[in-house]
Amino acid sequence: MHNTRLMVSTGQHFNSAHEVLQHIGARMVEEGICHASYPAALLAREATYPTGIALEGHAVAIPHCEAQHAIEPAIYLIRPEKAVKFQQADDDEQVAAELIIALVVTHPQQQITLLRTLFSQLQQPECIESLLSAPAGALAACFNQRLYAPAA
């Protein structure tokens, strides 16, 4: 997981989850991280299996799709200008995602491991607080520190 490319975007305005997903899809293809099939696969996966997650006092979305669309592993952190409504993963409700963590993996097992690690870390209120409050230039370092820090 340590050879995963980490990209960050902060302060962008999005009107909808669909718009965020289109942005992610285009950026991943443009960067050479994913095949041309990725944008449509990402949208289809989100429509079938929503990725919005309600946390204590906050919400995130972790969009991802099948490894076959990936060329290289990457994580794209997006901290939008204002929260974006995503369909909740385990409910019919929507959540206002303040942080979007797009995952691109090349092996399905990596995805399961990464999702477990992310979910475990995001359950800790100080983790999500630090990711939401870190200066834009320090967000990647903050994320790496949280994600790859040894489990306490």
Domains of the chain by start residue, with CATH: 5-148 (3.40.930.10)
Which residue is catalytic, options 23, 58, 64, 69?
Answer: 64
Type and span of the H or E element at 39 = helix 38-48
47-93 pLDDT per residue, tens: 999 999 999 899 999 999 999 999 999 999 999 999 999 999 988 89
Predicted local confidence at residue 152, as pLDDT = 41
Whole-model pTM? Answer: 0.93
91-122 pLDDT per residue, tens: 889 999 999 999 999 988 877 888 888 888 99
Residue 77: other Cβ atoms inside 10 A: 18
Question: Above 50 in pLDDT, residue 135?
Answer: yes
9-59 pLDDT per residue, tens: 999 999 999 999 999 999 999 999 999 999 999 999 999 999 999 998 999
Q: How many CA atoms lie within 13 A of 130 on its CB side?
A: 16
Residue 18 appears among annotated catalytic residues: no
Closest CA to 143 of 60, 69, 65, 85: 60
Which CA distances in Å does 82 have to 14, 34, 78, 90, 107? Answer: 8, 27, 11, 23, 32
